[in-house]
Structure formats: structure tokens, C-alpha cells
Chain A
Amino acid sequence: MSFLKLNNLTRRFGGLVAVNDLSFEIAEGKVTGLIGPNGSGKSTTINLISGVLPVTSGSVEFMGHRITGKSPHAISRMGIARTYQQIRVFESLTALENVQVARAGMYRSGLADVLLNTGKLKREESRERDKARELLELVGLGKKGDEMPRNLPYGFRRCLEIARALALEPKLLLLDEPAAGMNRDEFMAVTDLILRLRKTGLSVLLVEHTMEFVETCVDHVVVLNFGQKLAEGTFHQIEQDPRVIEAYLGKEEL
């Protein structure tokens, strides 16, 4: 049984085939990088796996279960969490509450417990608040729990989004360009965070353009071009693959 397996995944937008008959597997406990030129279908692939876009054909299997066609919340609760290319945090909630939102699935209290403010609910709320604080601590936002997201610098907002994803206690984390648009310090902070997550054995599939980031963080690379898999292997194998060089730089005419 493979950890995550894409079977002939295809997604069309009208006449455009964004992802074309794509199949690959990713291994548990590894950081897999999904790279490719602009428009090669990387973000679409992430959207198809997380269920926010319906597939045109093909399927995704996660730990032996077919997840294609399930709603995004169901996929999230099965253990696939994600972040977005454009950071999407909840602007009207505090940083701590942003993380707490993703803990909703951990509650046994129901609506009646909420309306009657039962002891069970209070215990769970306090347990989940502590858990959320721990996660903020982990991503380096330990002191920022009461801040509104708009008051946080860009890099911190990204970390907050990652903390929210981690709050689902995922088995697989999908990161869509986690280091995009960051300054040097922020870049180092996110790199460091992902390396720390890798050490805990979390499986990650990430889309990234920054080769330095891919080189440092990634165990295995899958290269896409025009919605299809072009190559895969370790970063150093990929780096020297002529097809990959051609896809990125174009062919040299003699």
C-alpha cells in the first residue's frame, strides 16, 4: 500500500489541460518537492489532492483509501492538511483562534454542550487552547497569540497558516510555495521550520520555485511540465537531467 498515489489524474479547464494523465507516488515520512515551470500544473495538483478542485478523471489514493470526490473537510480530517499559494488566514480571528479553528474535529462536545456551557466543553476548550498555543510556539509565534493576522509580518502569516494546517494533526502536509515572496530572514525561518517538521517524521509534498529551498528541504523531487510528469528523482539527479534543463531554460539551437 502506498502512502499517496495519483492515478492518471487529469484536470481540464475548458480546452486547457492543466494536469494531464499524471501518475506518481510519494513516500511516507519524506519531503517530496513538486517543481516545474510556471503553468505546469503544480498548484492544480495540490488543489486536486486536497479536494478543493474536482478532478476531470483519474483518482487519488491516500493510505489505501480513494479520496477522489470527497469534500475538502473530509480529506483534511483524513490527515491531509494544506496551505495556499496566496496566504489564506482568517482575518477576523486572532492568531490563536486561527489555529483553534482547525481543532474543531477534536471536540466530543456537541451543540447542546455549547448552549449549556457544560464542564465537558470547558475542559475541551481549555485543552484545545493549550494545544493551539503549543503549535504557535512550534512555528515561532508563541507570543503572538492575541494578535490579529493583519498585524503580523508576511513571514509570520505564513507560519500561522502552517500552524493552522498542523493543528489538524496531519499525516501529509501540502505546502503550495511556502517560501514565495519572503525576505532572507523569513526564508530561513520557514526553511528551518520545514526541516524541523521533517525530523518529526511528517510527510510533506511541497511546490516551490526557489531551488535553494528545494535543495535544502526535499528528499525527492517530481518535475512537471505541461501538466505531465517530466522526471523524478533526488534533487541532484533532477538538476542534471537534460529534459529538466530544457523545460526550464529551453533548448539550445545549434
Chain B
Amino acid sequence: MERFKKVIPLLAVALFLVIPLVDDNQYHVYMLNRALINCMVATGLVALTGFAGQMSLGHAAFYGIGAYATALLTVRVGFPVWLGIISAGAICLLVGMVLSLPSFKVSGFYLSLVTISFGNIVWMLIVNWHSLTRGPLGFPGIPSITLGTQPLSRVGFFYVSAVVLGLMTLALYRLSRSYIGRGMKAMSDDEQATETAGIDTKRMKVLVFSLSALYGGIAGGLYAHLSNFLSPESFVFSESANFVAMAVVGGLRSIYGGVVGGLVVTIIPELLRVKGWEIYYLMGSSLAILLLVIMLPSGIAPAVQNVYNRLGARLGIGGSGSGSNGNGSGNGSAAAVRGDSKSGGR
């Protein structure tokens, strides 16, 4: 029965994965690739903010550091692309470790301010360090990912990104079900009580900041090789806010929140590009995000999971997961996180 319950989500994923094969509009595929990349950053934020309770409004910085790192390493040093992306991730991981240090002292709004400043510093460096980044002129000529000797097509890129995102989500899923993930959630509830429960919260923060930065860095690296050109405006503060919007819309405390939010928030503006109304599409998409946050405060992913579990209960499938979710309907987020650990098959 538990198996049967997993069929529909798997089917949805499979359906999504065949889109680039049936839709040969290159712009659509490009936007899907952008969406997958955004999903990676948002998934990193779900780990950091949703699970561990550490606010970041500076994630565009990791995205930017990752992008420029692989651009420089591949163009100027001659790294192969794959090594460039991995190095981008590793560099961001180290930067993330450093950024975790302020979180030992501050949290909440104060930590948001720290991360905003961090984001601004990185952005100013990108804009002003001409010899390295060419500043506002942009960084051209970044190689595409190659498969053998052939550059990877956009469809190919889609599958590479999907696999990377899948691995990231799997890692977060396993983490969240483990003693480490429980410690993170505990820390987000009550840091002092977590300490006195024998958990080194500083170590936990270093871990989750590095993980989140790693996700952002790899996403940035992939973006550099997708667009072949980098410009500072892709890494401004509003992009950081946008990543937070993705995580919140998708479900800050759900493992799949980053994936769902990244897709929805990237695709919505594209759907609103109606002929004759182009000037309104960004306003429209902001309004859509606003409405989603008000109507589904714990996010789309947990809401869908709740509906699905209830339908499952009514149809008499997958009893255990849906049964205990019934009483948690008032709080989708907690119920969804709990639902995950259940459907994982205890």
C-alpha cells in the first residue's frame, strides 16, 4: 500500500521530466533550466532557514560567487567545465563556513541584516573588481557543458540539472530524517534547549551554512555554463529576496519546498507574459506570490501533501501516514515534515 502511495508523485516527476522531449520551444527549455537552477538555491534555503532556522537574505552572493568562480576557472585557468562547477561549489562551501560565524552571535532580523550586507559586499566586488569580473561589462565566453566533444544541448542540460537537483533533494531528505536533521529542527525551535540536549549548535550552524552555500554555488556554476555570459545584475539583492520567496512559496519546512517553489516562482512570470500586457507581468507575478503566501502560509508542497494524504485516507490507501496527519491539519508545515518521515517507510 505504501508503495502504491508513491506512484502518483513519481508519475508527476516523470511527467515533468518528459516536458523537454515533447516541447521543442528552446526558450521554454531554457526557462525550465533556469527554474531547476533556482530550485537548487531554494532547496539550500529550505535547509538553512526552514530546517535550521537561520535566515539568509544574501543567497544571491553564493550564486554569484559560484558563477564567477567557474567562469574564471574555466576561461582564464582552463579548468574543464565539470571541475569548474565542483570548484565553485567547494569555494562557496568555504565561504558559507565563514558566513556561519556571525550566526553564533546573532539570529533572526539581525542575521538577515548580516547576510544582506554580505550579499551587497559580494555584489559590489563583482561590479567593481574589473580585472577579475569585467564589472558591468559582463563576463562573456563561458564554455557550455560538453558531452565528449559536443556541447551539451539545452535538453541535455535539463537532465544534468535534474539529476543534480535530485541528488541535492535526496541529501536533504536523508539529512532531515537523521539525528542531524532532528537536531537542526530542534535548534530552529529553541537553540538553548538544543544545546542543553547535548547538541553543539555552532557545529550544526557551520554544517548547514556550508551545505546551503554549496547548493547555491553549484547552482551558480551551472547558471554560468547555461547562459555563457554573466552580468552583475543577476546577483543583486532582489535576487536573494526572490530565492527566499521561492523557498517560502514552495514550503520553507518541506523537503520539496525548494523544488516546488523554484519551479512555481520561475514559471509564473513566464505564464503571465500575455500579448499586449507585457508591462504588467512582473507586477502580476509579485501579486501571485503575495496571494500564495497569504493563502498557503506553510507553502504549496505541504498543502499538496496534505490534500494527497487525505484523499489517500478517503480512498483507503496508505493508512499510517494519513492517519496521523489528520490531527495536524491546522499546521501544514509540521504535518508535512512529519508526513515525509512516515512515507519513507519506517
Residues of A at the B interface (CB closer than 8 Å) are 50, 52, 71-77, 81-82, 84, 88-94, 97-98, 100-105, 107, 109, 111, 114-115, 117, 121, 124-125, 128, 146, 148, 151, 164-165, 167-168
Contact = CB atoms under 8 A, between A and B. Distances in A.
Nearest to B346: A129
A102 B58 CA distance: 32
Contacts of B186: 90, 93, 98, 101
Contacts of A98: 186
Nearest to A150: B331
A75 B197 CA distance: 10
Contacts of A125: 178-179
A109 B200 CA distance: 16
Contact of B195 (A76, A93, A121): A76
A100 B195 contact: no
B278 interface: no
Given A88-B190, A167-B197, 18 more contacts: A50-B196, A52-B195, A72-B195, A73-B198, A75-B196, A82-B196, A88-B192, A91-B189, A92-B253, A92-B333, A93-B186, A102-B198, A104-B180, A114-B178, A121-B178, A146-B324, A164-B197, A168-B198
A7 B194 CA distance: 27
Contact of B185 (A73, A84, A93, A121): A93
Contacts of B188: 92
Q: Is the interface of B mostly helix, strand, loop or mixed?
A: helix
Contact of A101 (B197, B202, B327): B197
Point out which of A50, A100, A102, A124 has the most chain B C-beta atoms below 10 A from its C-beta: A102
Given A92-B337, A111-B207, A117-B174, A101 B196 contact: no
Interface string B181-221: 01101101110111111111110000100000000000000
Given A115-B174, A117-B174, A92 B198 contact: no
A153 B207 CA distance: 35
B328 interface: yes
Given A73-B201, A92-B185, A104-B179, A52 B174 contact: no
Nearest to B202: A71
A89 B185 CA distance: 12
Point out which of B178, B189, B194 has the most chain A C-beta atoms below 10 A from its C-beta: B178
B177 to A, nearest CB: 8
Contact of A73 (B195, B331, B337): B195
Contacts of A148: 328, 331, 334
Nearest to B188: A92
B105 to A, nearest CB: 14
Give 6 nearest A-B pairs by CB, closest first: A72-B195, A76-B198, A102-B197, A88-B193, A90-B189, A114-B178
Contacts of B199: 73, 101, 104-105
B272 interface: no
B334 A100 contact: no
A97 B253 CA distance: 16
Interface string B238-270: 000000000000000100000000000000000
A114 B174 contact: yes
A115 B179 contact: no
Contact of A168 (B180, B197, B202, B324): B197
Nearest to A94: B338
Contact of A72 (B183, B192, B327): B192
Contacts of B194: 90, 101
A94 B195 CA distance: 18
B232 to A, nearest CB: 34
Interface residues of B, number: 34
Contacts of A50: 196
B50 to A, nearest CB: 10
A104 B183 contact: yes
Nearest to B183: A104
Nearest to A113: B178
Given A52-B192, A148-B334, A77 B198 contact: yes
Given A88-B192, A92-B188, A93-B186, A115 B171 contact: yes
15 contacts: A88-B190, A90-B193, A91-B189, A92-B333, A93-B189, A97-B182, A101-B182, A101-B183, A102-B198, A104-B197, A111-B180, A114-B178, A121-B178, A125-B178, A148-B328
A76 B197 contact: yes
Contacts of B236: none
A133 to B, nearest CB: 12
B220 to A, nearest CB: 22
Interface string B151-191: 00000000000000000000100110011101101101110
A103 B179 contact: yes
B166 to A, nearest CB: 14
Contacts of A90: 185-186, 189-190, 193-194
A8 B247 CA distance: 51
B189 A92 contact: yes
